[in-house]
A and B are shown apart, each in its own frame.
Chain A
Amino acid sequence: EVQLVESGGGLVQPGGSLRLSCAASGFSLSTYWMSWVRQAPGKGLEWVANIKQDGSEKYYVDSVKGRFTISRDNAKNSLYLEMNSLRAEDTAVYYCARVGGGWRSFDYWGQGTLVTVSS
């Protein structure tokens, strides 16, 4: 059974940093692109970042470029999101998701982890 489990969320002050993790099981992480998606309270979904199977390609939404870094450790079956210079508008539930074969969807999602940026 495919499972994605996020961790690392919490309360952080503006300007602070946080590292999110996503533990993958039930499939070979090394064969899939992976993504982070966020959802601010009461708002819609926003794609944040993608990473290729071997980590050689990374893409970000403009609002996080230069502040967030997506990475992966296929040997540990883990995906990460390093978040620096956090702002109030980064407050959201962060989901990791698997990009399905054929680049046609995000076919599996984790349960999400809440990041709150507030003083």
Chain B
Amino acid sequence: DIQLTQSPSFLSASVGDRVTITCRASQGVSSYLAWYQQKPGKAPNLLIYAASTLQSGVPSRFSGSGSGTEFTLTVSSLQPEDFATYYCQQLNSYPLTFGGGTKVEIK
């Protein structure tokens, strides 16, 4: 099974900060990597697919990069509505797996 390790697991930041979350895969997943945002009591929302492609309707302050085993999600200027938990997911092989999540809270 491919393990996805997200870091940090918790992040405290201020509005306007640049934030970077890392997702490391235990084996290569090519570019079959997606990022989701989840707010309390809500379903996850797709932000980035194919490692670096912005989903339609997602603000351009979100960006993704990487391939193989190391990936990053960057928010260029954190907005109040961005405080949430973020998950990476690999779709390269079964079982499909998610990272443990990164909770972004207001400093």
Question: Would you call B78 an interface residue if the criterion is a C-beta within 8 Å of the partner chain's C-beta atoms?
Answer: no
Given known pairs A103-B91, A105-B91, the reply for A50 and B96 (CB within 8 Å) is yes
Chain A interface, DSSP helix/strand/loop, else mixed: strand
- CB-based contact B43/A47 at 8 Å: no
Given A46-B98, A47-B96, A50-B96, does the pair A104, B32 have CB atoms closer than 8 Å? yes
Q: Looking at the complex, which one of B38, B46, B97 makes contact with A107 (CB distance below 8 Å)?
A: B46
CB-based contact B95/A105 at 8 Å: no
When the two chains form their complex, are residues B91 and A104 in contact, meaning their CB atoms are under 8 A apart?
A: yes
Annotate B35-77 by CB proximity to A: 1 below 8 A, 0 otherwise. Answer: 0101000111110011001010000000000000000000000
List, in ascending order, chain A residues with CB within 8 A of B34's CB.
104-106
A75-119 interface with B by 8 A CB criterion: 95, 99-100, 102-112
User: How far apart are the CA atoms of A105 and B100 in the complex, in Å?
Assistant: 17
- Is B87 touching A45 in the complex (CB atoms < 8 A)? yes
Taking a contact as CB atoms closer than 8 A, the residue among B49, B91, B100 that contacts A44 in the complex is B100
CB distance from B45 to the nearest CB of A (A): 8
Question: Please, which residues of chain B bring their CB within 8 A of the CB of A103?
Answer: 32, 91
A82 to B16, CA, bound (A): 46
CB-CB < 8 A to A47: which residues of B?
A: 89, 95-98
Question: Which one, A99, A100, A109, contacts B44 given CB within 8 A?
Answer: A109
Minimum C-beta distance from A50 to chain B (A): 7
Given A45-B87, A100-B49, verify A107-B98 contact (CB < 8 Å): no
**With an 8 A cutoff between CB atoms, is A1 at the interface?**
no
Instruction: List the 9 shortest-distance A-B pairs measured between CB atoms, nearest first.
Output: A105-B49, A105-B34, A109-B43, A47-B96, A104-B49, A45-B98, A104-B50, A44-B101, A61-B95
Residues of B within 8 A of A (CB): 31-32, 34, 36, 38, 42-46, 49-50, 53, 55, 87, 89, 91, 94-101
